[in-house]
Structure 1
Amino acid sequence: MAGEAVLTVRLVRSFQHRNFRPLVFKGVDLNQTAGQFAAHVRSVLPTRQELPPPFRTFRYDTLKIIHQAHGAKTNELVMSLEDDDKLLLEEDVSLRAAGVANETELAFFCKEDYEVFKANPKTVW
């Protein structure tokens, strides 16, 4: 269908430790809102056996576009800290209207953790 897409969601547990796991979602309706998609992702996490338990119960609340198909990628290992005004998805806006297309990669993370890391972007090894 024209409204369905394959999206990769990068679940980010820790920016400082670069701790993330990708999940692929097929048949995503791009006409649903970002809030609806986020709720769907949260609802399937407990059943995804390929994820370590801490990723299944983390408090994800924000989606951000990391990469569009055939576009330039960031040099940041987890995700870019730039262009939040354009790339952070608003809950009540459809994925399509927010610029999400087939094969887009999204980050799903806790906004509070992101703001702390953005203020002091140091990684721990």
Structure 2
Amino acid sequence: MDSEAVVTVRLVRSFEHRNFKPVVFHGVNLDQTVQDFMRVVREDISTRAGLPPPFRTFPYDTMKIIHQAHGAKTNELVMSVDEDDKLILQDGQTLRSAGVANETEVAFFRKEDYGLYKANPRTSW
């Protein structure tokens, strides 16, 4: 089984304003924990060239699977609000046990913002 994967992380700053940036990570170890991967992503984006400063310093704290290779894509513009129990990555899980595989796309966001958006899923332009 392959332990390294390409994972796209969608940095979500605002659900309401659809403010997000996808960042691709190569050579992701699927056997690392969710917390370790979040730390790697935070460290990488804090210095990544071409990423606007607000995305680098945002307090991301939660990851959720948006799309897996060869699966159906959601029609939601930022992220689906369905199946949180299955798709939100839990602390202590490895990426593999959480369902992350090669070419998976995950959203990285602030749980509090997501809760507010889920309670009132509007978007503004």
Aligned to 1:14: 14
Aligned to 1:29: 29
Aligned to 1:98: 98
TM-score by length of 2: 0.98
TM-score by length of 1: 0.98
Alpha-carbon shift at residue 46 of structure 1 (Å):
1.5
Q: Distance in 1 between matches of 2:91 and 2:66?
A: 17
Alpha-carbon shift at residue 108 of structure 1 (Å):
0.1
Moved over 6 A (4+): none
Structure 2 gaps of 5+ residues are none
Aligned to 1:66: 66
Alpha-carbon shift at residue 49 of structure 1 (Å):
1.4
Alpha-carbon shift at residue 45 of structure 1 (Å):
1.1
List per-residue Cα deviations over 1:54-90 (Å, max 9, x = no partner). Answer: 0000000000000000000000010100000000000
Paired residue type of 1:46? S
Paired residue type of 1:91? D
Q: What pairs with 1:30-49 in structure 2 (closer than 5 Å)?
A: 30-49=30-49
RMSD: 0.9
1:52 matches 2:60? no
Structure 1 gaps of 5+ residues are none
